[in-house]
Amino acid sequence: MLAWLFDTAYDTEVRAALWSTVAAGAATVVLFVYTLGLRFATVVGARRRRHLVARWRGIFATAILSRGNAENELLPRVRRRQRTDLLEEWNRARDTVEGSAAGNLIILADRLGFARIARELLRSRRLSARLLGVQTLGHLRDADSWGAITALVASPNTALSVTAAVALAEIDPARAVEQLVPLIPQRRDWPRTRVSRILRKAGSELVSEPLYRAIRSGDEDEKIYLLQFGPLAEAEIVDALCDELIRSTNHPGVLTAALKQVSGHAGVPRLPSLARHEAWYVRMQVAKVLGRVGQVEHVSLLASLLDDPEWWVRYRAAQALVRLPFLGPNALRDLRSRQADRYARDMLEQAMAERGLA
């Protein structure tokens, strides 16, 4: 049938062209068959996974209901190729519960040997496997893996590093916060939302002291970065720290960060001098603070900021004045009329109009 391919009547170039055509056709057929096989395997694998997930989702839901269910539930055999899908589904279920329900899922996972499987994944070369292993050990609160997970916090890979940090906080929140807070300014690659979630979950009682120490001992840049997490600490600690920083530094960035966090209910030091600070954004922050906690004695200070050279300072000062609860429309109009600077009058008039007081 293919004798024509070997016909010596053809010259070399023709035979080469014929063989190339045959080879291309054969490769096309092989590729087509391979694609069909791959598609078939994908469909079959997806179907098996759906069945696996549906079956185990019911088991997890039953285990969540009571400790007895978690301890006595009949469990199907888990094949090696099913481990990854099963761990992923268990982690999804574990993410949705706390308290005794989480403990029930951990009991079930212990029966299935998840800790051993997760430790094996930590040694994998695949990043996805290592991430799954770290997440699982954190959800299991596996204290025996503390050292291995701590080593991963220093990983240059952001996803692996921050996942390890989250896992440590799940295993031992108090110990984790002590270890992680000093690292926060060094790991600017950690998403701030993830860091906030770690600290919020640990609770203000555990966060306050390590955060206070880290801010006090850090340089100006570290102080500025860490102060944004101040609301996650206890309010009295934050107020005391901000009071100390405002009294002890003239660094505009630190002052601005501290003024943003201070409640001001116990008073804010150095307000008159800060209202004359060379950095306009410090003066603007003073106006915003006084808008929150200003008293009658601060009206003249805010009025002096109405003719500041910087537009934003004038605008925030005017906004602060119209928000003071003890200044009614008549008092504001009187204050406006007493301003010698035309721009100060215009700014206060604009702020009053925004509040419907013009």
Residue-wise pLDDT for 121-147, tens only, equals 999 999 999 999 999 999 999 999 999
Q: Please tell me the distance from the alpha carbon of residue 62 to that of residue 69, in angstroms, as a whole number.
A: 6
Q: Please tell me the distance from the alpha carbon of residue 225 to that of residue 235, in angstroms, as a whole number.
A: 18
pLDDT tens across 182-216, in order?
999 999 999 999 999 999 999 999 999 999 999 99
End-to-end CA distance of the chain: 99
Q: In this structure, what is the dihedral angle of CA atoms 248, 252, 256, 259, given to the nearest 10 degrees?
A: 30
The per-residue pLDDT for 84 is 87
The per-residue pLDDT for 46 is 61
Reported confidence tier of residue 177, pLDDT bands at 50, 70, 90: very high
The per-residue pLDDT for 118 is 94
Please, is 80 exposed, middle or buried when counting C-beta atoms within 10 Å of its C-beta (0-12, 13-18, 19+)?
Answer: exposed
Please, is 90 exposed, middle or buried when counting C-beta atoms within 10 Å of its C-beta (0-12, 13-18, 19+)?
Answer: buried
Residue pointed to by tokens 């006595």: 72
For 355, which DSSP code?
A: T
